[in-house]
Structure 1
Amino acid sequence: MRDEDAKAERPSEFVEALAKGLSILESFDSQHPEMTLSDVARRVGLSPAAARRSLITLQAMGYVGQTNKRFHLRPKVMSFGSAFYFSARVDEVLQPELRHLVSTFGDASSVATLEGHDVLYVAHYSEQRARRPTATVGARYPAHATSLGRVLLAGLPDADFDRYLRDVDPVPLTKKTVVDKAQLREIVEGVREQNYSTTVDQLDYGITALAVPIRGASGRTIAALNSSGYSGLLTAEDLLKNRLPELRASAARLSQTLSRYPVLESIIGTR
């Protein structure tokens, strides 16, 4: 969503100062674990004075620390994630299905929702040990390069998907990553018809994945569930033949469970 569109949708009670503080917390990531005041201001799009006020406030509250002239997150920020984890009952509702899939097929399984142009992992379970992009709870990856993301994009209303394609700037993460917008549209339209998505070496070399939608009581796609493994050991055709029926059964069970808890469905499916 473009900045002007986002601002136009803000309610009259929108608190700009709070938004700035949260944006600063979100600006720290694996590529930017610590930053100077100027770095923070530049990444968030604030003046140095505004960034400084927010950083001082976050530091006083224990969410941000400072070593010399470089700021970094403090462990207290994990309280946000744990609050979501327990309020959404991730361990009780989502993890059993992920464990079931991993015990059946091995490899890894995840649940994600759409957050802007990215997928946001809300649950993950894995027996994999090799080095690969970390799919932990809270991890974000570009939607265009993941099976989960393509399922979630397929679940968007036409107008929202058109806006996504208009605003997104797809990044090639491997030589195989699809970044052509016309091709992405064709792929997502195919996902809508078949109700699943497969990807091979799109996010990183060696990752082959299959994802299906998790639907809410209204039939709207509120999340996506996947099963993934190593490209050298299995193909997309293997996933479709051996895992698709069970993956769909797990997604259906999750949909039924979420339908019994409207608040939980709202937490998982809000975007």
Structure 2
Amino acid sequence: MPKGKGRLTFVPPMLPTRVPEPPSGGDWIHEVKLDGYRSQIVINGDDVRIYTRTGIDWSSKFRDLVEAARALGLDNAIIDGETIVTNEAGLPDFAALQKAITQRQRQHDLYLVAFDLLYLNGQDLRELGVEERRDILQGLIRPGERIQFSEAMPGESDALFYLIDKAGMEGMVSKRRGSKYRSGETRQWLKTKSFVVSELELLGVQRESGKAAFALLAEPDTRRYVGSAFITLPLDIRERLWKRVQEHAGPQPRGMKKRPATQWVKPGVKLRIKHLRGDHSHIRHASLLGFSDEE
């Protein structure tokens, strides 16, 4: 809740609950889930701040977006959205976003896609339904600017998600019509994420007592580390995996930091990994499906 007379401050955002399939029926509106950083614009006249999902002030990292928000000419407002960078195909590129944040000369690559409005010119809008808040927000944003509006998609949810998946997008957010804005996780907003399956090379397995085991993974050709995946396979497959690790035991790969309770392996063990769609230089939310040579 904003504090101080007439001055707005960061509000913890409303967070969608992850579900395996999007909800059906006419009670929902659907938007593309963009692969970026959740961002909140807080405007108090010329004083404009942009915060991360957890309330960290990143205004200095988003200087061009701060100027774009100032150009909206609002007395005060809180706008909820996602900061992104797009690639040549026009799709959000998370790796490019990280570079743009750290490299001053790439600030012009940043865009903020706005999808909700919490406050406007002294009025608390959180008690309004999501469609009303979005209608007001859309009226504030000029097409073609650095701050854009997240359009809702017409159609059935399963068909929309199929198209989003085929287009290579991260997923979809579904919002219940009439839902009020409430900080924290809620089932009034639901997110359905798109996953892909990749073949990656095993670098090693880390198994610490009392903790979940996970596989350390690399690109098949370069052996460059790209992340890890939890090992949640059935017992018989886990036993086969550990047997292969022992058969291919090798030295710690060059460039890898020491890790406790890790058995490194030589090249040659390929795995099928399910992970979030996005940049392959660092996989996220990954899980091990099995061996690629046992299909």
Sort the TM-score into its range (normalised by shorter chain): under 0.3
TM-score, scaled relative to structure 2? 0.24
Structure showing greater radius of gyration is 2
Larger proportion of strand = 2
When normalised by structure 1's length, the TM-score is 0.25
Counting helix residues as a fraction of each chain, which structure ranks higher?
Answer: 1
